[in-house]
Structure 1
């Protein structure tokens, strides 16, 4: 069914004057009027983006394909019509034909060292020298590759880097040779200089950033997806460590205590920041609006936080915005979300390729 969307279009142009967009029967955007189209009024946004999501992971590890489908449906219904899947142990490509699923930009499986990540999720690498080869293999099939940059070392009892610096440089080169980008899970401080210096494209979480590594990221244009709503779990992670790993528990509490200031400093330094919930990694799906609000509160402000989960994030992931001929992945809300982000929880319409998910 063709649609006529009318209202201000928040596509990063800065023009708040009401405009008209048309959605063809086959779910594409256009500027040419369509007779008989059903009119929808409101503030028009490109579909929201969850730039750190895990479709295929549940509280107990890998899930079956139908549960992964339900996860994607939940994200899309909340307005996240594009997700960057930052590591999944199952192949979710059979879900791509489901019209209620978000578009998924994949990073394949996590790559880690044995016993240095959550059991059942990563590709375990016995010999670090094999990392460039394995990264190249993942890059041949996915636009992103996901590394585990640090994790608890049970011998050391605290967060420790997983990879030597020279291996990281070769791994980045291997991914970039295939046109893929690389990101890494990093909670602490010590893994960051090697990853950033090697040319990584993005850091996930980034709670261990320092003045030095913030400056490195800013100089290189390295992106940050801070997953602020998952950082709220750090005290629980520390409690779970108990008396067995006291150094880790103390460290996680310290990272949590300064997280808002750390991410605020990264924002002030001009590091590109995007919204990601870490859904599936300790966070339930469908919480993109919570992450937008958290980013606004930590220093981005409502307008930039909204862009970090919509137009700016789409450009970063090389996906269409609201151009003519693009898929009609659109969220329509009743009022200006920059004045009140809570309107994102009350959409007038959520359209995936022009099909209503409401």
Structure 2
């Protein structure tokens, strides 16, 4: 059945009246279209999620992958970016009409001796640029683990720079996991496309990130949720590092937004479908509610090359009874979820 959405559309707040013509929005009326009206968002995005595995090291499970993606749709998420998966996804990943659009970077790429056992691919520095470029040529993204635990050496800046050059040469983009200051310096200096987590990132790098278009996906809610557990651990260098970085991570997010860095909402957590937790965390850190919602909607969609509620754009939308900028809890209660021009919830 054809879908029609009508109401005040964010981010601009102007009144729109759109019909889905297949997977594209149009203003041409369609007789008998099912109407959903209210406050409209152009589809939510979880920009950092790893569906298909329950815990680190588990193999990719297709049944679990479908379940996790359904949880995202239930929350109004119409697109996901998976910077790292437990295995190569099935052909229906990102194309199934009932599940979110999807971008992924294949397996994580890490140095020998780092990252979770059973996950990702280890590579020598000399081989890393070619491996990353081959991955990005297939899926559009490569994900590098730039640093890992306390005392580990990060990927050198010259190696990350070579990775960026090789991936960009094939038209791809590079996402980098970093949670240490030196890894953050290397990632930003190399000009990566997105910094994932960014804990312990030097705030002095934020201006450069904004200028070169490096996005930040802070996964703030995941850090906040782990803090009570970290506090209860015995004293150790790892505890000191986690507490020192996670406790001020919200301040970094607020400073990044103020500096003009594109902040993306990503959950990096189980259960899936909890992007609202990240929006709340971003707003609680000091981002304007408008910008916190944008990080999970129009800003993330623009970053992935998706349009909003406009003529010719992909026909995704989430409908709410009230303006979610005035009450973030509205995000937990969508009236309708429209995906690829179909009402799926």
Give the TM-score taking structure 1 as reference length.
0.90
- Report the alpha carbon displacement of residue 237 of structure 1 after superposing the two structures with TM: 6.9
Among 255, 260, 263, the alignment partner of 1:273 is 263
In structure 1, what is the equivalent of residue 28 of structure 2? 32
Post-superposition offset of 1:232: 1.8
Moved over 4 A (4+): 236-243
Encode CA deviations 1:297-338: one digit per residue, 9 max, x unaligned. 212211111111111111111123223343321101111111
Q: Distance in 2 between matches of 1:262 and 1:256?
A: 10
Q: 1:139 aligns with which of 127, 136, 139?
A: 136
CA distance in 1, matches of 2:312, 2:245: 45
2:75 paired residue among 62, 74, 78: 78
> 2:38 matched to 1:42?
yes
TM-score if structure 2 supplies the norm length? Answer: 0.93
Q: Give the Cα separation in 2 of the matches to 1:70 and 1:159.
A: 37
The number of aligned residues is 343
1:51 aligns with 2:32: no
Q: Distance in 1 between matches of 2:233 and 2:134?
A: 34
Provide the C-alpha distance between the structure 2 equivalents of 1:108 and 1:240, rounded to a whole number of angstroms: 35
**What is aligned with 2:192?**
200
How far apart, in 1, do the equivalents of 2:62 and 2:53 lie? Answer: 10
What are structure 1's unaligned runs of at least 5 residues? 153-157
Contact conserved, 2:217 with 2:263, CA < 8 A, in 1? Answer: yes
Structure 1 distance, partners of 2:8, 2:338, is 17
Aligned CA RMSD, in angstroms, stands at 1.9
* 1:195-244 alpha-carbon deviations (Å, 9 max, x no partner): 2111111101112122332243234231101011111244367469756x
**Aligned-partner Cα distance in 1 for 2:34–2:191:** 48
Matches of 1:221 and 1:160, distance apart in 2: 28
Residue 177 of structure 1: how far off its partner (Å): 0.2
Cα offsets for 1:29-88 (capped at 9, x unmatched) = 210111122222111111101111112232252331111111111111111111111100
1:175 to 151, 167, 170: 167
